[in-house]
Structures are given as C-alpha cells and as structure tokens.
C-alpha cells in the first residue's frame, strides 16, 4: 500500500468525480429511462423465449394483441405529436396560467381522440360497450337499491346472476356512475366514451393546479407537456379507470386547497368535499384505497393537518351512505379476493408479474417515469427542506409509493396499463426535474412510445 499522500488524494478525487457523475441529472435521467426500457423488453421477450405461461394474450406483459395497423386517426395522431413536440415546452412556459389550464385540457383531449381514432369510431364507441364492461349491465338495472343489496352475493363466479368481470371486480360506485350516464341519455358506448375522455382530459390541469396551490407553479409548467401527452392516453381514452383517475385528481386539488387556506370554514368545506371525492374513489375501485398515500403526501407537502378531520368526515359519509343502502365495502373485498384467485389470477405467476407490472407501467406512463422517480429520489433532502422542490418530490414519490404498494399486494397481476392510471400523473410530476438538455428528447420518447404502441398492438381498453 502506497504511503504517498498525493496518491490518496488522487484516488479520493477520482472517487468524488465518479460519484458526482452518477448523481448528475443527465446520468440519472439516462439510467432511469434505460432501466425501465430494459424491464419492458425483458418482460416481453422472456416469456416467449422460455415459453412461460403468463396469461396476457400474445403481447406480454400488456393485455393486448399484436396487430400492426394504421387507421383514420393515424395522420392526426402524428400531426398532433409533432405539434406538441414543437410548441409544448414554449406554451407551458409562457402562456398565462388560466390559458395554460384550458389549453392543456384541449390538447389532452385531442391527443386521446387522435390515438383512439386509429381504430376509427369503433376505437371510441366499442370499448365501453364490450360485454365485460359496465354499460351493458347498467342498462339492465331498474332497481338500484336491490342491486346494492345483492351486489356482494353476485360477485362469486358460481353465484346465480354473477356480475360480468369489471362489475364484479369493482365496488358498485363504478356501476352506479355508468347507470347515471345511461339515465341522462349518455348510455351509448360512444357518448360514454366521449364523457370519459373529457374527464380524463382534465387530469393534467388538476395535477398542475395541485402543484400551483402548494407553491410549485414553475414545476407544474415544466411537467405540463408530459402530463398532457404520453402513452397513457391509449388507455385513458374510454377506460373506466380514466374516469376514476379524474375523480382522484380533483379530490387532490380540493385537499391541497383545504390545506393552504387560512380561513376556517372554507377549509372545512374544501376538506369535506375532498373527502367525499376520495371516498367515492374507494367505491369506484378497491385499489384506490391507496390514494390515502397521496392524500398524506399533500398534507405533508403543505405542512398542514387541519383539513384531515374534515376529509375523513367526508369519506366516512360516503361509506355510511353505501352501508345504509346495503353495501359494506369490508364485506365485499374478501369475496372479491376469492373470485380474483378463482379466476385467471391464479394462473398468473406472482414471480413474473411482481416485476413485469413495472414494465407495464412503463408502457402506460412511458419510459420517462424511470427518470422521474430517479431524479425525485436524488432530491430526498428536499423533503426536509420543504419549498416548491419539496412539494414536487413528495407528490412524485407518493405516486410511486402507490404503484409499489399495489404491485406488492398481488391484487394487480397484469392489466395495470389501465388499473394504475390514477397513479400516472403523480409519478410524472417528477419530469419537472429533467435536465434542460434532455427535456425535448424525453418528450419525443413519450410521444413516440404512444404512437408505436397504438399502431402495433390492439388493447380492448
């Protein structure tokens, strides 16, 4: 061993430089994207190479079918992607706040519509009208009270009059939503699909508004292009889970507003309203109980807990309303678990899906989600320091924590391209941390992934 002090200093310097390079935002971005793409490729290639039966149609890990094609929406989707790539960053940076929220909604809607229209009007009208979805059942319900009282009894696969897959797999709030659409004359597949897209198009504005309310407008603007357009739009368009994601997003806006107001009664009203929407989310999808992580993240970011009792009251009011009408969430969930494992879930190996689910999330949220998480993790100190950066890191990591919790639960084996849509925007907030030099290439990767996947595989959602 050398006793030369200069050699020791040189070794320390080289080590410091190596660590600095590894911690550099460009390195973290490239590594994060590379890891996600690698997982995506492995999740697709390994089942075919080793003849694994993972039960996800013929394009694992997506629940989709290999079907290369173009359609009437193809030129519009390409044109929209090019336009967004050219002007997206500048518009997000320079437009007034109110106009940015409006333009983000319009752009998100156009992007979803163009992608869906690759399959023509059927890409919108046929999806929610499928026999596994809610609408066909919703049209047949003539007594909502009886439906709620019988709901749990009709979940098991061998029960008389068993519910179709998606109705059985969700609490009755999802079915009630589509019953409501049918009752007001929006019960066709096309009309309901447009409603879902309009609501889904509001999600970027809700995520940005949450950041602004919490004091991070600059980061909201930086994340805007990635919130507006990405591959999740393939499934956001006319998926019931996109509607759930919209309700969750606006519940979060209300909670952020409650946490930042200094006035008592507005805080109470906003807190209760937020709790009502969060409570409704739990009756839209069992997995959205995990939104509690996001709600805590909002309160931590705001350094305020006073809205919590009001939000809990709002959520409990929803629980009480369903219980009074014959549906008990805590009785239904164990029955659902039994049905879940009595069906295809028992044939989907956890050892594959526990990591392949993250690959699916890469297809849905886009490969850039790996960079968003890596960059957020590199700034953990901001959680202590607070400020705008602390808000951003908290919400991004809360989003990823929901993904990990859902993944490890074993109740989301496959199909998470739609199931985890409510988590996507919060994880993508981390794209605000992307280095300037890689922002446009990263956005191009997101848009390109969406165009490629919509044109080579067919998903029933």
Tens of pLDDT along 155-198? 999 899 999 999 999 999 999 999 999 999 999 999 999 999 99
Q: Would you state the pLDDT for residue 174?
A: 97
Residue 220: band (very low, low, confident or very high) from pLDDT cuts 50, 70, 90 = very high
Q: Would you state the pLDDT for residue 7?
A: 58
Burial 296-326 (b: 16+ CB within 10 A, else e): bbbbbbbebebbbebbbebbeebbeebeeee
* Domain assignment present for 301: yes
Structural domain containing residue 152: 27-459
Mean pLDDT of 221-230: 98
394-409, pLDDT tens digit by residue? 999 999 999 999 999 9
pLDDT at 122 over 50: yes
Q: Which of 371, 366, 372, 360 is nearest to 451 (CA)?
A: 366
* Domain assignment present for 414: yes
Sign of the alpha-carbon torsion through 409, 399, 226, 113:
positive
Q: Would you state the pLDDT for residue 227?
A: 98
Q: Which residues pair with 58 in a beta bridge?
A: 56
User: Average pLDDT, whole number, for the chain?
Assistant: 95
Domain count within the chain = 1
Mean pLDDT of 436-457: 97
* Domain assignment present for 7: no
230-241, pLDDT tens digit by residue? 999 999 998 999
Which run of H or E residues covers position 146? helix 144-150
461 vs 106: CA distance, rounded Å = 22
Percentage above 90 pLDDT, the chain:
89
Q: Would you state the pLDDT for residue 343?
A: 82
* Domain assignment present for 20: no
* Domain assignment present for 1: no
Q: CA torsion angle for 407, 412, 418, 419 (degrees, to 10)?
A: -90
Mean pLDDT of 65-78: 97
Residue 203 to residues 196, 207, 250, 275, Cα–Cα distance (Å): 11, 6, 8, 18
Instruction: Report the predicted TM-score, pTM, of the whole model to 2 decimal places.
Output: 0.95
49-63, pLDDT tens digit by residue? 999 999 988 899 999
| φ/ψ of residue 50, rounded to 5 | -110, 10
Q: Would you state the pLDDT for residue 10?
A: 62
Residue 364: band (very low, low, confident or very high) from pLDDT cuts 50, 70, 90 = very high
296-345, pLDDT tens digit by residue? 999 999 999 999 999 999 999 999 999 999 999 999 999 999 999 888 88
pLDDT at 18 over 80: no
* Domain assignment present for 355: yes
DSSP-assigned letter for residue 458: E
* Domain assignment present for 366: yes
* Domain assignment present for 157: yes
pLDDT at 1 over 50: no
Mean pLDDT of 203-221: 98
């Amino acid at each position: 061993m050398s006793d030369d002090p200069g050699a020791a200093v040189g070794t320390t310097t080289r080590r410091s430089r190596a660590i600095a390079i590894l911690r550099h935002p460009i390195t973290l971005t490239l590594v994060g994207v590379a890891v996600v793409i690698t997982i995506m490729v492995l999740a697709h290639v390994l089942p075919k190479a080793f003849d694994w039966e993972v039960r996800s149609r013929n394009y694992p890990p997506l629940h989709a079918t290999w079907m290369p094609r173009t359609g009437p929406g193809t030129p519009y989707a390409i044109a929209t992607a090019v336009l967004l790539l050219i002007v997206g960053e500048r518009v997000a940076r320079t437009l007034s706040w109110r106009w940015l929220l409006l333009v983000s909604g319009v752009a998100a809607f156009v992007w979803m519509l163009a992608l869906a229209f690759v399959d023509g009007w059927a890409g919108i009208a046929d999806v929610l009208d499928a026999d596994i979805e809610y609408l066909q059942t919703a049209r047949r319900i003539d007594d909502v009270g009886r439906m709620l009282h019988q709901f749990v009894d009709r979940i098991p696969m061998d029960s008389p009059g068993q519910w179709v897959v998606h109705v059985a797999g969700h609490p009755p709030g999802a079915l009630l939503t589509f019953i409501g659409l049918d009752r007001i004359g929006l019960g066709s597949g096309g009309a309901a699909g447009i409603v879902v897209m309009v609501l889904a198009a509001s999600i970027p504005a809700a995520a940005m508004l949450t950041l602004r309310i919490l004091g991070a407008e600059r980061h909201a603007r930086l994340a805007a292009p990635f919130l507006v357009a990405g591959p999740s739009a393939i499934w956001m368009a006319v998926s019931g889970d996109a509607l759930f994601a919209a309700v969750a997003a606006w519940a979060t806006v209300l909670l952020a507003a409650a946490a930042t107001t200094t006035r008592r009664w507005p805080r109470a009203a906003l807190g209760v309203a937020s709790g009502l929407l969060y409570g409704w989310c739990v009756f839209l999808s069992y997995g959205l109980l995990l939104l509690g992580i996001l709600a805590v993240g909002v309160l931590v970011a705001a350094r305020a807990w006073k809205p919590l009792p009001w939000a809990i009251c709002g959520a409990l009011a929803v629980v009480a309303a369903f219980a009074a009408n014959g549906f008990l969430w805590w009785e239904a969930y164990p029955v659902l678990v039994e049905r879940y494992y009595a069906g295809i879930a028992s044939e989907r190996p956890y050892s594959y899906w526990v990591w392949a689910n993250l690959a699916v999330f890469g297809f849905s949220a886009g490969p850039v989600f790996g960079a968003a998480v890596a960059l957020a993790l590199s700034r953990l100190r901001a959680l202590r320091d607070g400020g705008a950066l602390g808000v951003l890191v908290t919400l991004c990591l809360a989003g990823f924590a929901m993904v990990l919790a859902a993944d490890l639960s074993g109740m989301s084996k496959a199909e998470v391209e739609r199931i985890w849509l409510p988590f996507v925007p919060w994880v993508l907030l981390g794209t605000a941390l992307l280095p300037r030099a890689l922002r446009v290439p990263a956005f191009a990767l997101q848009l390109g992934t969406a165009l490629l996947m919509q044109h080579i595989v067919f998903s029933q959602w």
